[in-house]
Amino acid sequence: MYDRINESLNYIKKSTDITPKIGIILGTGWKCSAEILDSPLIFNYKDIPHFSSPSIEGHEGKLIIGKYDDSNIICLKGRLHTYEGFSMEEVVHPIRTICSLGISILIVTNAAGGINPEFSQGDYMLICDHINFMGENPLKGSYDSRIGSRFVDMSEPYNRELISIAYNSLKHLNTRPNDPRQNDFVGRVSVKKGIYAGVNGPSYETPSEVKMLRLLGADAVGMSTIPEVIVARQMGVQVCGISCITNMAAGIKEEKISHDKVLTLMKTNEKKHSTILKEIIHAFSSHPGRR
């Protein structure tokens, strides 16, 4: 495992000596947000040793290094899922690689189904905690102490300070129409906080499963993110997670769910995605305790 990470690192380091501060994982429909980076250096997953390429629409499979707001950023444009047939080790290898490059903050994004009846399609949810219903854990199996502890403390998987900084920044976004970071941004941002439930997929949840998840405290559900967060915390990286609520989960409303509908909603909100990430990066970079 450690050797594979180093082989991936060495390939990237042959092209750049930049040490990124912030890592970003762009989930389903978030790919346009990579365009915010200046002077991007782009790697295809298929060219990086031990990286696998996603097969799902909306996940391009590119690693991008660039700059925004004077911060060096590394971005994974697309993620892997176990439902594609990838092992958990394959899913988290890109995250282990970018964490090894020296990032201190990881921003994870995804598209999720809303469970909380107070949520609406198009809302954004800052993830405060998660429930792992995937039946798997990326730390299971072979272990190398050079990567981190086998028994990882998950009492604060999503950093509370980062959540607070991001939430306050996004709440004020609507009051600054002339902010240059907004460019041609249209509309208002509705931001919530909540708990994310992770399932394997690829079938969507049944109404009874959604009811169970709600009883357990989940506000949204998706098929990713949790394995990435676990390995980031193992490697000492602080995490901020944000979900775009693309639909209400089964049984919450009388509507059918499809991946095409998810992609359509995400496409409609592309400008919002980019504005939100620019705002969060700026807030993290300019906060006195985070410089």
- Phi and psi (nearest 5°) for 240? -125, 130
Would you give the end-to-end CA distance of the chain in angstroms?
32
What's the 3-state SS for 56-96? Answer: CCCCCCEEEEEEECCEEEEEEECCCCHHHCCCHHHHHHHHH
Q: Where do the domains of the chain lie, and which CATH numbers do they carry?
A: 2-290 (3.40.50.1580)
For the record, the structure tokens of 46 come out as 């298929």
Secondary structure of residue 124 in the 3-state scheme: strand
Query: Which residues of the chain, if any, have pLDDT below 50?
Result: 183-185
- The torsion angles phi and psi of 94, rounded to 5 degrees, stand at -60, -35
Q: Please, what's the b/e burial string for 191-219 (b: 16 or more CB within 10 A of its CB; e: otherwise)?
A: bbebbbbbbebeebbeeebbbebbeeebb
What local confidence, expressed as pLDDT, does residue 177 receive? Answer: 58
Q: What is the pLDDT of residue 180?
A: 53
Predicted confidence (pLDDT) per residue in 217-268, tens digit? 999 999 999 999 999 999 999 999 999 999 989 888 877 888 888 888 888 8
CA gap 132, 127 in Å, rounded: 13
Cα distances (Å, whole numbers) of residue 107 to 18, 172, 174, 218:
19, 20, 21, 20
Sign of CA dihedral 192, 105, 274, 94: negative
Report pLDDT for 290. Answer: 52
The answer to whether the CB of 57 falls within 8 A of the CB of 263 is yes
As given in the structure block, the two tokens for residue 171 are: 């709440």
**In this structure, what are the phi and psi dihedrals at residue 115, rounded to the nearest 5 degrees?**
-105, -40
Q: Which whole-number Å values give the CA distances from 234 to 85, 89, 92, 145, 195, in the listed order? A: 24, 14, 12, 10, 20
Q: What's the confidence (pLDDT) of residue 184? A: 47
Question: C-alpha 203: how far from its chain's center?
Answer: 21
In the DSSP assignment, the letter for residue 116 is S
Q: Determine the residue type at 51.
A: F
